[in-house]
Amino acid sequence: MKLTEDSGLLSQYRVPLIEALTNSIKQQNSAFYAPGHKRGEGIAPSLATLLGKTVFQADLPELPDLDNLFAPSGVIQKAQELAAEVYGADQTWFLVNGSTCGIISAILATCRPGDKIIVPRNIHQSAIAGLILSGAVPIFINPEYDPIWDLAYSITPEALERALIENSEVKAVMVVYPTYHGICGDLQAIAKITHGYNIPLLVDEAHGAHFTFHPNLPFSALSLGADLVVQSTHKVLGAMTQASMLHQQGNRIDPQRISQALQLTQSTSPSYLLLASLDGARQQMALQGQDLLSQTIELSQKVREEISQIKGLQILNLEQPCPGFKQLDITRLTVNVSGLGLTGFEVDEILHQQLGVTAELPMLRHLAFIISIGNKTEDINQLIKAFKTLTANLSPSPRHPVTPSPPPLLSSCYISPREAFFSATKMVNIEDSIGGISGELICPYPPGIPLLMPGEKITAQAIEYLQKVLDLGGSITGCSDPSLKQLKIIS
């Protein structure tokens, strides 16, 4: 988006939160309020050496001049209004507890105990927390699955229509758009179907906060009709880690319900460093977003062309739309390394420890890399060089094949996640858990998509996949026994 003096968006030059924070830092007074380090005076020397004292001078609480996150009427309100304007929302809330609190709040704002909500089976674990806290009952839809790439796509409009026909009194639909790998489904059709039943569409757009700002990226979820969207501004734009936004439009969701839900899930001591970073990130994208993303897309195209020519490597592209895969975020690079006879975990270790490159997400057959406005030509050249060096130095000796993994998203929910969470459990040997009901949330992480969740039947296929991830160097979170020799089931 380009702004000119005639654009009507001159306010986007302002950064009300940053301006207020700057003024507060300049005020000379004796601080008898939290935090205890008193503007950096009491900070540990080792931490001051690492970060400097300036950042702690801005680590302030909700002083009168800095507004209140839960009842904004000053600079926070103005900053959120500017964000709503640039993103095309009716209302925007700043999140300091990450997109996790936004996803949970979206469910709390739309569902009460016992209400049905349609969710894709590749939903982030934060949505499962939302189900547990709200008492909503999930109707799971398996996303389309690509066995060659071992990738889950989006749910299809047809699958959603079937689920809505088969289940009465559904209160909301939640989808992931885009996936961790930049894959976007047919959200416009999904929105049309959802609204045909007069229910709201909630979108986990954690990885799509940049879509609004460039015509060569997928359409934003709001522009395609979503009622509520949660974005991780820190993942792909210039906000600090944990800083996110929630956007709402239309009249299908009561904004007061959203605010009430956020009071349950956000810290009552919000970090003004995080809030100010959201203000700055919004201004940066409003004024320079298209130019910055044009440079990012150019870098992404370069690395795609170069790596696609390296023997043994494949780049995820969208030759033509297919079920569950309508658009691709070109700034998300997914490299299939199975042609090298190595797993993504093994390649990730070599790249990180020996070749000066760190991926966002290694999996069994591929690695994903986030290319953002913070990357420079030097980064791209280093990534290309690393893959060339890796392939050139591979031993000619036989390597183990990396066979396609079966879809891990086939099990079904026998009791609600909330009921399972509060049920009595017991630990059993892994082989004895098959056929039982999971009492814990188990995720290969990242991306944080549950392979087993509370209330779900444990299948031999799921256990096989988890053991494969561990054997090949992956990590698993959520299980009581990290060695995966035992699992917790509903007793």
pLDDT score of 244 more than 70: yes
Query: Which structural domain range is residue 336 located in?
Result: 299-392
pLDDT score of 438 more than 80: yes
Sheet holding 228-231, edge to edge: 91-95, 244-248, 228-231, 201-204, 170-176, 116-120, 137-141
pLDDT score of 400 more than 70: no
Do 225 and 317 belong together in one domain?
Answer: no
Question: In angstroms, rounded to a whole number, what is the distance separating the alpha carbons of residues 156 and 186?
Answer: 7
Residue 99 lies in a domain: yes
Classify burial at 391, counting beta carbons within 10 Å of its beta carbon; exposed 0-12, middle 13-18, buried 19 or more: middle
Question: In angstroms, rounded to a whole number, what is the distance separating the alpha carbons of residues 232 and 238?
Answer: 10
| Number of independent structural domains in the chain | 3
Residue 292 lies in a domain: no
Do 224 and 263 belong together in one domain?
Answer: yes
Do 252 and 309 belong together in one domain?
Answer: no
CATH number for 333: 3.90.1150.10
Residue 327 lies in a domain: yes
Q: Rg of the chain's alpha carbons, rounded to an integer?
A: 23
Point out which residues pair with 245 in neighbouring strands.
Answer: 94, 231
Q: How confident is the model at residue 484 (pLDDT cuts 50, 70, 90)?
A: confident
Segment among 262-271, 337-346, 477-486 with least mean pLDDT: 477-486
247 contacts 231 by C-beta, under 8 angstroms: yes
End-to-end CA gap in the chain? 56
Segment among 331-340, 357-366, 443-452, 460-469 with least mean pLDDT: 443-452
Residue 3 lies in a domain: no
Question: In angstroms, rounded to a whole number, what is the distance separating the alpha carbons of residues 381 and 366?
Answer: 20
